[in-house]
Chains A and B, each alone.
Chain A
């Protein structure tokens, strides 16, 4: 791409930078309802990016990632409720425990492949959900069963991860997403990323070259669980409620996976792009038709899933970037004055 004379850092990235700027700045100037949508976009982008680290790179389909989201949310919330520990510290403890949990779960699961792996993760998700819904206390820890955890409202306190306005939550989320995307990028361009790509394209060949399959899969799993636990903490602090029937649900897992798959698994910015496309659609649909047509947004999810698998099995990331790059190239070839037109 960068063969032209004026090739610089921004070449071919104008629209990407524009999009990121929109995500950064626009939420300041819109009303609360739209801010909520922006928060959800980034929340799902965060979850999908974490999913992408293990599943997009390794190539196994986890349909139980909501488990790790939920475990993170539960641990940090319980630490806050029972030990009055600030979520800012709690989220790291939760992340560490979730990562260990993920590795322990991954150890047997990664021996399986394809549908067997997917089924095991589904079974695991259901198992944890039923377990939490049916147990009031576990080892003396009060899980509160199917009631879920209700976090107290204490007003605008930075130390308690509680803010009066949505925009502060949004920028916390921006930071989390940025860290996750950075980690994804680092993994992709590191030895670990190359190992994982090798494992994905041919496990047997990778193993014969001396790559320890399970070891690297588990490292990816640990990183993924560590990061998705932050999303869980955010979920708990933002909604002030953690309900097991939602956060551990199969639907949640499928949504996370679908957003990453639509965006483009194994790409750095794909999950973010997928969330930007899917979340506004589903939010709009459930807002407009949620009362009269329950399930419409999940119906759309199903249809989108079919269409993506049939026509864009690698996700929308590459086609969309290609499209934008060609638009950009056209705009530049017609002179600088038409650049403004490209903004939407």
Chain B
């Protein structure tokens, strides 16, 4: 019993890393632009389909495909900000606009993207049979043999790589200085000569690029299907709120907690019911500390 829980724990940590990797982009976008991007899951799904096409048509492994897909998704993120969100933000000035509109527009975008892919590809489950998904890592733990795909391990590590890259860009570069300035005070940054909307677009692009990298890792072991986005999109939100909206370590920590709760919980109740635990955890967290585990305090 204890051993199986231990195994579940390890699986949970690996899966949680992948969750964290996906949630990172969302957290960055919220931290900078204050936009809750409900299209996040759809963009993840979109990237996995691009990897799928690259693999089936040209035989390009998703890990290499990152070099091609990430710039595309970066541009897509920038375009989303430029054509959908910036017009709303500009309209917001001076008038009391419905704060729900930002939320709705991304929700609509997510719906449009995921159902567009539903129309093109149908609801069949596809997999990308790459080398990493077919080679296994085996570790002996006590009496048990722990076996997992290498691609899962890579996805776990990717969370830290993406997290570090984002942290580095935001905290150590000139661009990051602008991003931080804008996220702290939009108007003050504008006075200092920062092009606010351009910086928003860059930040949005960065967040989407991050999810494209996570998408590559995910597509190496998970199936590719239009509804995948909804599943991971919702989870990312819960994770990001749990860890603290806008916090990079928070996203990874939240992801790990989610993975562990889901995986260990499945040892005691059915696996679909164990995802209920994560929802409950999320709601309790919101009512106790809405700013999340590592988020900055303040009114929600």
A contact set with B: CB distance below 8 Å: 59-61, 63, 108, 111-116, 118-120, 122-124, 126-127, 130-131, 133-134, 201-202, 250, 254, 261, 293-296, 298-299, 301-306, 309-310, 313
Contacts and interface: CB of A to CB of B under 8 A. Distances in A.
Most buried by B among A63, A134, A301: A134
A267 B263 CA distance: 46
A299 B104 contact: no
Interface in B1-56: 36
A261 B276 contact: no
A295 B226 contact: yes
Interface string B107-124: 111111111101100110
A259 to B, nearest CB: 13
A259 B241 CA distance: 28
A146 to B, nearest CB: 9
A294 B100 CA distance: 28
Given A116-B241, A120-B286, A310 B116 contact: no
Given A108-B287, A122-B237, A296-B115, 8 more contacts: A119-B286, A127-B280, A130-B275, A294-B122, A301-B115, A305-B104, A305-B112, A309-B88
A305 B111 contact: yes
Given A126-B234, A306-B109, A120 B100 contact: no
Interface in B264-297: 270, 272-273, 275-276, 279-280, 282-283, 286-287, 290
A111 B272 CA distance: 29
Contacts of A114: 36, 99-100, 103, 300
Contacts of B100: 59-61, 114, 118
Nearest to A261: B104
A127 B115 contact: no
Interface string B229-247: 0100010011001000000
B104 A127 contact: no
Closest 7 CB pairs of A and B: A305-B108, A302-B112, A302-B111, A295-B118, A295-B115, A299-B115, A115-B36
Query: Size band of the B side of the interface?
Result: 35 or more
Interface in B61-104: 84, 87-88, 91, 96-101, 103-104
Most buried by B among A111, A126, A201: A126
A236 B115 CA distance: 27
Contacts, number: 128
B105 interface: yes
A296 B238 CA distance: 28
Given A124-B283, A310-B84, A112 B115 contact: no
B283 A120 contact: yes
A119 B237 contact: yes
Nearest to B238: A123
Given A134-B273, A298-B115, A59 B107 contact: no
A226 to B, nearest CB: 24
Interface in B217-237: 226, 230, 234, 237
B207 to A, nearest CB: 15
Contact of A130 (B114, B119, B276, B290): B276
Contacts of A294: 118-119, 122-123
